[in-house]
């Protein structure tokens, strides 16, 4: 009876601010598939303890209560019929602190209650953390339809084209629930982990591998298939994936496809620590290689860089599916490596690398003293790696340089250091950008911004100039000329004549390297065909004048105003996202192709940042409060895209704080997403 008193099942009613909140700007990565808009499901009361059939929770002699939430499905999740679901939440012993979170996906035949008994038992690997963690146990068993089967992959399999770039209902529900828990219980966003066994392992791979912006790390045990992960990683763009820890068995009938996962991670330089053994499809995998089994995966943080190891000399050879005769029936890949971040600044990156020693492990194991591996650094926070740039590297032990060399970042901005010697004595890998000397002329560029209030509200010209000044020393510095005047179309700018101070005179005599030409936002004040005809006429005239002055031209296609914008007597009610964006950007792209003029399609850069199916709230977050002009975030995408067009360099890592603006600070993590969206649009626009 004492246990009953100490153990309490609680169901929270839908009162106060209790609601599921789907991803907004904080988790909006360009190209990442993400849940739909904010929603408020009906959370019902229930105190039927018999329905839970789970024991008291006693960890380290401290009682902790389980909270059970029941809710109806939300329309935005996309279920064909309404359904009811539940999840369990185990708070930490001291929930007043900012706590980490482990998310658990259950196996086939299990429920959201499945992990509760296991949490009560000793689990030396740390599948569920300790008493400082929240544990969220999701469920996909309550409804017997195929929609939730295999954590949504059955639905994806049945309609692959529909869910190629769109979350299925189960994924929507799972990710929305995680976000609600993070916001409601003040979770440390840098310490959110995903864990699953069997079917839950398959779901963790599929849901987790493309969400490095959400999960610090992912751990799976005997995952029942990898098709969900292969599908998602093959059909979406995503940030650096979370480090993956995988313990499987080659004799497990559900292990089919592990070779594909190994190939995916090796070829793409994704972090994978993999261990296997002949134990079959079972939850107890403690006989796996201790260095892998005891990997301190819950110490990994989302706000710190991590190394990816490939082609390591200490790797064993995975025997392959149902192979019980070849060598290495028990083995590991990348299980012996350990690391610690030392320094991550825009100029220098330092990380300690080493091999684990046998006395650090609870189980006996003869560990190697030396390994040779290729090392790739991912999830960098401040240090900038740019495509095609050369970096100097050193491996330093104490004060002695053990190795050194140079490496060039690939076209995707991934830097891999080949054949690094890593020992059980800690050494530091140090990276710096190779110094390059440019003449003063080569290192500077004059750019005239000719447009209207779309450039003016957040001072786009000065923003681009400031960003260039924050770039590495060998990058070009931009001096911006500003001729952004409210309400001015290309026609009005041209019709101003050639008197001193007019656009035509400034272009002719300013000795510009580039002129950025921006047309006014279409306001339904004329038929679109006539608007396009006028644009082409005056773009032609400016193109000739700019080239005659010895400068280069870039067309700048912006986003459009929203239907909420008050623009005098003009009616904007027909403006809808994304149709209006596509119309204005395609008009200029089509013209640019005919004339051989580069087009910075900023409307499309916004769309890459927003991803498919953004909520209205997410769209409006890029606008000024008048909902007609770009806000700070929207202007920053403009600036990042134009910087890329002007310099050919990535804007990643450049300044995102501007003293001349109020507000003028974009948080680094959000700035990175904006920078990446712009860079992706630049690469797409300039590919052959």
Which H/E stretch holds residue 188? Answer: strand 187-197
Token pair 């004059």 is at which residue? 446
Determine the pLDDT at residue 570: 55
CA distance 187 to 171: 20
Q: Which residue has the higher pLDDT, 479 or 56?
A: 479
- Segment holding 444, helix H or strand E: strand 444-451
pLDDT at position 347 is: 85
Q: Which of 243, 433, 472, 436 is nearest to 349 (CA)?
A: 433
Lowest mean pLDDT among 107-121, 338-352, 396-410, 426-440: 426-440
pLDDT of 502 higher than 70: yes
**pLDDT of 25 strictly over 60:** no
Q: Is the pLDDT at 16 greater than 70, yes or no?
A: no
Per-residue pLDDT band at 524 (split at 50, 70, 90): low
What DSSP character marks residue 352?
E
Residue 2: per-residue pLDDT: 30
Distance, in Å, from the CA atom of 608 to the CA atom of 592, rounded to the nearest integer, reads: 21
Res 30 pLDDT > 70: no
pLDDT tens, residue by residue, 445-463:
999 999 999 999 999 999 9
In this predicted structure, the answer to whether residue 371 has a pLDDT above a threshold of 60 is yes
Please state the φ and ψ torsions of residue 341, each to the nearest 5 degrees: -75, 135
Position 573 scores a pLDDT of: 59
26-29 long-range contacts, CB within 8 A, separation 24+: 26/189, 26/669, 26/670, 27/179, 27/213, 27/214, 28/609, 28/610, 28/611, 28/614, 28/618, 28/673, 29/213, 29/238, 29/239, 29/611, 29/673, 29/676
Residue 4 has pLDDT above 60, yes or no: no
Segment 305-317 shows an average pLDDT of: 96
pLDDT digit string, tens, across residues 655-670: 999 988 888 899 988 9
Query: Do 31-242 and 444-686 have matching folds?
Result: yes
CATH code of 31-242, in short, is: 3.40.50
Share of the chain above pLDDT 90, in %: 64
- For the chain, the residue count is 688
- Of 654, 649, 555, 547, the closest CA to residue 603 belongs to 555
- Degrees (nearest 5) of the Cα angle 608, 612, 616? 95
pLDDT recorded at residue 353: 98
Per-domain residue ranges of the chain: 31-242, 444-686
Distance CA 571, CA 586 (A): 22
User: What is the side-by-side order of every strand in the sheet holding 370-378?
Assistant: 306-310, 370-378, 416-423
Residue 384 clears pLDDT 70, i.e. is over it: yes
Write the pLDDT tens digit of every residue in 227-243: 999 999 988 778 899 99
Whether 157 has a pLDDT exceeding 60, the answer reads: yes
Helices 602-610/668-686 angle, 10° precision: 130
What kind and span of H or E run contains 303?
A: none
pLDDT band for 56, please (50, 70, 90 cuts).
Answer: very low
pTM for the whole thing? 0.66
Higher pLDDT, residue 120 or 415: 415
pLDDT at res. 9: 30
Q: What is the mean pLDDT of the chain?
A: 85
Q: Which run of H or of E encompasses 59?
A: strand 57-59
The DSSP 8-state label assigned to residue 589 in this structure reads H
444-686 fold: Rossmann fold (3.40.50)
pLDDT at 522 (0 to 100):
67
Residues with Cβ within 8 Å of 655's Cβ and at least 6 positions away in sequence, in order, are 466, 467, 469, 470
- CA 211, distance to chain mean position in Å, is 6
Distance, CA of 57 to CA of 479 (rounded, Å): 64
The pLDDT, as a whole number, for residue 673 is: 92
Give the chain's end-to-end CA distance (angstroms, integer): 73
């Amino acid at each position: 009876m004492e246990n009953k008193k100490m153990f309490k099942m609680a169901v929270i009613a839908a009162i106060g601010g209790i609601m599921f909140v789907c991803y907004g700007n904080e988790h909006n990565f360009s190209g990442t598939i993400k849940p739909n808009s904010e929603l408020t499901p009906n959370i019902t009361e229930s105190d039927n303890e018999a329905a839970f059939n789970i024991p008291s929770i006693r960890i380290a002699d401290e009682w902790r209560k389980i909270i059970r939430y029941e809710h109806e499905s939300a329309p935005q999740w996309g279920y064909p019929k309404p359904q009811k679901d539940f999840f369990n939440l185990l708070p930490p012993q001291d929930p007043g602190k900012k706590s980490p979170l482990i998310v658990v996906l259950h196996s086939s035949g299990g429920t959201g209650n499945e992990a509760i008994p296991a949490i009560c038992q000793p689990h030396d690997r740390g599948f569920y953390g300790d008493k400082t963690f929240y544990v969220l146990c999701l469920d996909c068993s309550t409804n017997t339809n195929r929609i939730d089967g295999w954590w949504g992959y059955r639905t994806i399999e049945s309609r692959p084209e529909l869910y190629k770039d769109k979350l299925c209902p189960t994924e929507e529900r799972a990710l929305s629930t995680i976000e609600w828990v993070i916001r409601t219980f003040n979770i440390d966003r840098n310490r959110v982990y995903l864990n699953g066994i069997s079917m839950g392992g398959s779901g963790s791979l599929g849901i987790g591998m493309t969400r490095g912006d959400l999960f610090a790390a992912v751990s799976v045990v005997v995952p029942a298939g990898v098709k969900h992960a292969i599908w998602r990683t093959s059909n979406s763009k995503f940030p650096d994936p979370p480090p993956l820890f995988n313990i499987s068995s080659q004799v497990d009938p559900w292990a089919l496809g592990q070779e594909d996962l190994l190939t995916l991670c090796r070829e793409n330089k994704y972090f994978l620590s993999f261990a296997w053994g002949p134990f079959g499809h079972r939850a107890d995998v403690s006989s796996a290689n201790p260095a892998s089994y005891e990997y301190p995966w819950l110490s990994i943080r989302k706000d710190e860089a991590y190394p990816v190891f490939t082609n390591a000399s200490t790797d064993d050879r995975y025997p392959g599916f149902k192979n019980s005769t070849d060598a290495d029936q028990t083995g590991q890949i990348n299980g012996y490596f350990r690391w610690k971040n030392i320094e991550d600044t825009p100029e220098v990156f330092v990380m300690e690398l080493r091999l684990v020693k046998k006395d650090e492990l609870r189980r006996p194991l003869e560990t190697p003293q030396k390994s040779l591996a290729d090392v790739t650094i991912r999830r960098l926070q401040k240090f900038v790696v740019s495509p095609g740039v050369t970096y100097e590297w050193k491996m330093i032990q104490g004060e002695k340089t053990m190795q050194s060399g140079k490496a060039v970042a690939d076209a995707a901005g991934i830097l891999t250091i080949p054949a690094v010697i890593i020992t059980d004595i800690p050494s530091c890998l140090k990276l710096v950008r190779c110094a390059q000397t440019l003449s003063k002329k080569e290192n500077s560029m004059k750019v005239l911004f000719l447009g209207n209030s779309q450039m003016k509200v957040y001072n786009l010209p000065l923003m681009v100039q400031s960003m260039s000044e924050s770039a590495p020393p060998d990058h070009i510095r931009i001096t911006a000329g500003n001729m952004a005047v409210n309400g001015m179309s290309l026609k009005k700018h041209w019709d101003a004549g050639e008197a001193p101070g007019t656009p035509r005179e400034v272009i002719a005599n300013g000795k510009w390297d580039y002129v950025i030409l921006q047309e006014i936002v279409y306001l339904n004040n004329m038929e679109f065909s006539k608007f396009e005809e006028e644009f082409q006429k005056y773009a032609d005239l400016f193109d000739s004048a700019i080239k005659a002055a010895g400068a280069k031209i870039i067309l700048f296609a912006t986003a459009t105003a929203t239907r909420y914008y008050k623009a005098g007597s003009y009616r904007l009610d027909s403006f809808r996202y994304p149709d209006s964006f596509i119309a204005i950007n395609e008009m200029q792209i089509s013209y640019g192709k005919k004339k051989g003029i580069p087009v910075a399609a900023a409307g499309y850069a916004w769309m890459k940042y927003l991803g498919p199916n953004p909520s209205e709230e997410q769209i409006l977050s890029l606008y000024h409060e008048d909902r007609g002009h770009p806000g700070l975030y929207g202007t920053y995408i403009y600036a990042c895209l134009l910087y890329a067009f002007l310099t050919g360099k990535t804007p990643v890592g450049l300044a995102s704080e501007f003293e001349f603006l109020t507000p003028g600070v974009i948080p680094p993590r959000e700035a990175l997403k904006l920078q990446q969206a712009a860079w992706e649009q630049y690469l797409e626009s300039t590919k052959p």
